[in-house]
Amino acid sequence: MSAPALNPLATEIAAMIAQDGPMSVERYMGLCLSHPVHGYYMTRDPLGADGDFVTSPEISQMFGELLGLWSAETWRLIGAAQPARLVELGPGRGTLMADALRAARAAPDFFAQLTVTMVETSPTLQARQQRMLENAERTVNWADAVEQIPPGAAIILANEFFDALPARHYVKTPEGWRERQVGFADGRFVFGAAPEIEKYLTVEAETGAVLEVGAIGQRIMTTLAARIVAQGGALLVVDYGHAQTVLGETLQAMRDHAYVDPLESPGEADLTTHIDFAGLGRAAKAAGARVHGPVTQGYFLRQIGIVQRAQALMRNATPEQRAEIERSLVRLISEENETDMGRLFKVMAVTQRSVEALPGFIEEPTV
């Protein structure tokens, strides 16, 4: 079989490998997603039916509306700081924030005080978000990194943000754990292992096992949790992943709503990994914060009133619209199968230790 033709990013990565040797999976994933010219998020709007994947806010306006109401309620609960600062990490098309702001008008004390910060690295998506929020009637600022969020108590929302950050892989060999790398041989990218042994990694596993570590996400979590401990606020993380730390890799590439090989056509497919909520929770606790959840997305959305919201929308809807509301409700909250969004997606929040209960995370009494 002859090697496939290389796209411009593949040519560049192959040249880097020829010069410096194989690179870490983390570096490879970072280049595919965020290379300034050819990176996946830098060049396109990947969301929606005609994009590569669909997210909850793109499925239904109810998702962003409920997160807006959750933000208002949480803001009051933790002391109604002035100004009310609402932040979103990786806001995609800006749909979630537009829906959240519309719903937040129902909480005039919150809305009147509100200023918004969008944390987004992609210029293409920043422009898209600016258009989406043109009529928001609130001050909206953009930042490229969490360190640039203005100081003060902030309600920070992150839907499908942590899964889009590069992760490291380690592979178990008979001599010990080695970092997994991407090399280039016979015209293609191939996985390999670094020559050095990672002596501090002592997890027991069989030869060939892969350990995935979201080090960049953990660092961001540490920064945000420390900020919340010092200045107040709350972080809400919604993402797909597992509640417990597990072995095995979850790196996946998605293009046109189908899975493809992550080593083929770098920069042209969305690369993600499942989130290790336990690892993120440990990072937040180590910074002195309280962790709420994770609970399933289905549980969280039900508890903050998605069913009632759907019923209210249906009252003024045509039969076709009603069917559509019903369909998107089921899609967001169903927990029947393991791959249903209501179950695969989990929700976790981080606050100061003094905040004991948050809407969406209150345990239902068992009878």
- Tell me which residues touch ligand SAH (CB under 6 A): 41, 47, 55, 57-58, 90-92, 96, 119-122, 125, 159-161, 164-165
- Cβ closest to ligand SAH, residue 91 vs residue 360: 91
Which one-letter DSSP state was computed for residue 53? B
- DSSP structure string for 103-161: HHTTSHHHHHTEEEEEE---HHHHHHHHHHTTT--SEEEEESSGGGSPSS-EEEEEES-
**Residue 231: CA count within 13 A, CB half-sphere:** 18
- Cβ closest to ligand SAH, residue 47 vs residue 355: 47
Question: Closest residue to ligand SAH, Cβ-based?
Answer: 90
- Shortest CB 162 distance to ligand SAH, Å: 9
- Shortest CB 163 distance to ligand SAH, Å: 8
- Shortest CB 88 distance to ligand SAH, Å: 7
Q: Cα(57)–Cα(121) distance, rounded to whole angstroms?
A: 19
Q: Cα(276)–Cα(272) distance, rounded to whole angstroms?
A: 12
- Residue 200 Cα distances to 145, 152, 214, 254, angstroms: 30, 37, 17, 33
Per the listing, tokens 């797909």 go with 240
- Shortest CB 118 distance to ligand SAH, Å: 9
Q: Cα(88)–Cα(146) distance, rounded to whole angstroms?
A: 10
- Cβ closest to ligand SAH, residue 165 vs residue 349: 165
- Cβ closest to ligand SAH, residue 215 vs residue 357: 215
- Cβ closest to ligand SAH, residue 92 vs residue 281: 92
- Shortest CB 68 distance to ligand SAH, Å: 14
Per the listing, tokens 């960049």 go with 216
- Shortest CB 126 distance to ligand SAH, Å: 9
- Cβ closest to ligand SAH, residue 78 vs residue 157: 157
Q: What is the largest CA-CA distance in the chain?
A: 66
